[in-house]
């Protein structure tokens, strides 16, 4: 589960943690819980993390992590990078961190995020880590703690073990280091915790690794509105921000203060895939594409998902009777079964009803009005 990835907007995934719980409506078709409850059911990271509800696996809140000394934890240090990086030849490779979970789940120790963060500094210049969450308020809390070094003085204080670190230091950054030690478990007999050496170690690491992109998922306007304030603060702290509008389940308009980020931000948009996928209105994507274009903000159209309009073959549906809000199954010439839908549940403002076709993800493709959108944020030194 760590290595090159077919996900269109990254080069690789890195999974050292598992398990999650439902956060919002966009979690319904979560592929991570689907995989965790089926093909990866016996994998140590995912065993016991899902419960069957109405025949489908659903994350039950049990969180897991690989043992501290598992080699996957240091995989980014060894990885030489993608053969053809998405950002271009000679550019850093992108690593999507924890696509099978949420690193910033509120019940997970921030010690794991600390380990990821410290890895980022060590792979700077070679890799960019993409951290995506539905819990940006926890991500912000982490960053604030990392940037809090006020309480540390200039004296040499070495401390071993989480209790000693907390007793000797009171800054947010040292607290995260203690959390990180907590995630290690007790050292084996004869071994010791790594020492926290404020004067020689993390003191010198800058406030912000430049090779971390911080992302949030928002599947429609209410989720965006709830999550944007925390992300806006992270953007103001200088981070590159990305929005995953996938799977889109309702319309979304980006506010001016998001669009003002320009090439320091990115929008990734896409429809739903999987057996129970629902269609998305194409105008939801067009609105975002046009807003991004007007603001010179990178737009990445990942996929239509199961339902699309831009398929590479034409389907004459004009003579069919299609009912508002219903899905019909039709047998087309050549015995191909397709489904039609009019996804106009809440979108009367978007114009007349529209017919979408369930082509399947592969055929539906990822071109929007004939164009593939692959734009990425700028890489900053």
Q: What is the b/e burial string over 351-380, where b = at least 16 CB atoms within 10 angstroms of the residue's CB?
A: eebbbbbbbbbebbbbebeeeebebbbebe
User: If binding is defined by CB under 6 A, does position 242 make contact with ligand SF4?
Assistant: no
Write the binding mask 245 to 284 for ligand SF4: x where contact by CB under 6 A, - elsewhere: ----------------------------------------
Task: List helix spans (H) across the chain.
Answer: 31-36, 75-78, 110-122, 136-147, 161-168, 172-184, 221-236, 256-259, 282-295, 361-364
Assign residue 330 a region (left: φ > 0; alpha: ψ between -120 and 50; beta: otherwise): beta
- Strand locations in 3-78, DSSP E? 3-4, 12-14, 17-18, 50-53, 56-59, 64-65
User: CA-based Rg of the chain, rounded to a whole angstrom?
Assistant: 23
User: If binding is defined by CB under 6 A, does position 1 make contact with ligand SF4?
Assistant: no
Only one of the segments 8-16, 25-33, 173-181, 207-215 lies at the binding site for ligand SF4 (rule: CB under 6 A); that segment is 25-33
User: If binding is defined by CB under 6 A, does position 16 make contact with ligand SF4?
Assistant: no
Closest to ligand SF4 by CB, 112 vs 193, is 112
User: If binding is defined by CB under 6 A, does position 49 make contact with ligand SF4?
Assistant: no
Among 9, 14, 46, 59, binds ligand SF4 (CB under 6 A): 59
CB of 146 to ligand SF4, least distance (A): 22
User: If binding is defined by CB under 6 A, does position 20 make contact with ligand SF4?
Assistant: yes
What is the C-alpha to C-alpha distance for residues 109 and 113, in angstroms, rounded to an integer?
8
DSSP 72: G
Residue 187 has a CB neighbour count (10 Å cut-off) of: 14
User: If binding is defined by CB under 6 A, does position 244 make contact with ligand SF4?
Assistant: no
Do 25 and 219 meet the contact criterion of CB atoms below 8 Å apart?
Answer: yes
Q: What is the b/e burial string over 158-177, where b = at least 16 CB atoms within 10 angstroms of the residue's CB?
A: ebebbebbbebbebbbbbbb
* DSSP per-residue string spanning 150-179: TT--SS--EEEHHHHHHHH--SHHHHHHHH
Among 11, 102, 246, 306, binds ligand SF4 (CB under 6 A): 102
User: If binding is defined by CB under 6 A, does position 23 make contact with ligand SF4?
Assistant: yes
Among 15, 101, 174, 266, binds ligand SF4 (CB under 6 A): 101
CB of 132 to ligand SF4, least distance (A): 8
Closest to ligand SF4 by CB, 22 vs 350, is 22
Among 5, 33, 64, 240, binds ligand SF4 (CB under 6 A): 33
What is the C-alpha to C-alpha distance for residues 156 and 51, in angstroms, rounded to an integer?
50
User: If binding is defined by CB under 6 A, does position 108 make contact with ligand SF4?
Assistant: no
CB of 210 to ligand SF4, least distance (A): 26
User: If binding is defined by CB under 6 A, does position 134 make contact with ligand SF4?
Assistant: yes
CA 326 to chain centre: 31
Which residues are CB-contacts of 201 (< 8 A; sequence separation ≥ 6)? none
CB of 217 to ligand SF4, least distance (A): 7
User: If binding is defined by CB under 6 A, does position 30 make contact with ligand SF4?
Assistant: yes
What is the C-alpha to C-alpha distance for residues 378 and 381, in angstroms, rounded to an integer?
10
Residue that the structure tokens 């915790």 belong to: 193
User: If binding is defined by CB under 6 A, does position 93 make contact with ligand SF4?
Assistant: no
Closest to ligand SF4 by CB, 32 vs 342, is 32
Closest to ligand SF4 by CB, 16 vs 33, is 33
Closest to ligand SF4 by CB, 179 vs 219, is 219
Only one of the segments 28-36, 63-71, 203-211, 287-295 lies at the binding site for ligand SF4 (rule: CB under 6 A); that segment is 28-36
CB of 98 to ligand SF4, least distance (A): 8
User: If binding is defined by CB under 6 A, does position 22 make contact with ligand SF4?
Assistant: yes
User: If binding is defined by CB under 6 A, does position 27 make contact with ligand SF4?
Assistant: yes
- Residue ranges in contact with ligand SF4 by CB under 6 A: 20, 22-23, 27, 30, 32-33, 59, 101-102, 134
């Amino acid at each position: 589960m760590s290595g090159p990835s077919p996900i269109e907007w990254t080069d690789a995934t890195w999974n050292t943690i598992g398990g999650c719980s439902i956060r919002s409506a966009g979690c319904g078709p979560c592929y991570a819980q689907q995989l965790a409850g089926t093909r990866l059911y016996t994998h140590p990271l995912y065993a016991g993390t899902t419960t069957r509800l109405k025949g489908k696996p659903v994350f039950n809140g049990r969180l897991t992590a690989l043992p501290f000394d598992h080699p996957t934890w240091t995989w980014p240090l060894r990885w030489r990078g993608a053969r053809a990086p998405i950002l271009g030849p000679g550019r850093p490779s992108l690593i999507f961190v924890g696509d099978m979970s949420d690193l910033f789940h509120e019940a997970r120790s921030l010690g794991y995020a600390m380990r990821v963060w410290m890895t980022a500094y060590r792979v700077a210049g070679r890799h960019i880590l993409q951290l995506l969450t539905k819990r940006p308020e926890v991500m912000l809390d982490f960053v604030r703690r990392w940037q809090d070094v006020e309480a540390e003085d200039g004296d040499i204080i070495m401390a071993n073990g989480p209790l000693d670190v907390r007793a000797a230091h009171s800054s947010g950054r040292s607290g995260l280091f203690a959390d990180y030690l907590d995630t290690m478990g007790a050292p084996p007999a004869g071994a010791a915790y790594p020492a926290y050496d404020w004067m020689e170690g993390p003191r010198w690491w800058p406030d912000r690794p430049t090779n971390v992109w911080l992302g949030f998922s928002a599947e429609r306007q209410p989720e965006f509105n709830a999550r944007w304030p925390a992300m806006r603060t992270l953007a103001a702290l200088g981070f590159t921000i990305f929005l995953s509008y996938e799977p889109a389940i309702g319309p979304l308009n980006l506010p001016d203060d998001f669009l003002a980020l320009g090439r320091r931000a990115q929008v990734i948009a896409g429809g739903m895939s999987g057996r129970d996928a629902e269609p998305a209105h194409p105008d939801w994507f067009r609105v975002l594409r046009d807003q991004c274009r007007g603001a010179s903000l990178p737009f990445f159209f990942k996929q239509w998902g199961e339902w699309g309009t831009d398929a590479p073959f034409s389907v004459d549906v004009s003579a069919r009777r299609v009912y508002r809000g219903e899905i019909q199954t039709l047998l087309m010439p050549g015995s191909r079964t397709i489904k039609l839908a009019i996804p106009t549940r809440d979108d009367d403002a978007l114009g007349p009803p529209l017919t979408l076709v369930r082509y399947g993800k592969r055929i539906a493709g990822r071109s929007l009005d004939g164009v593939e959108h692959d734009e990425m944020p700028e890489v900053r030194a």
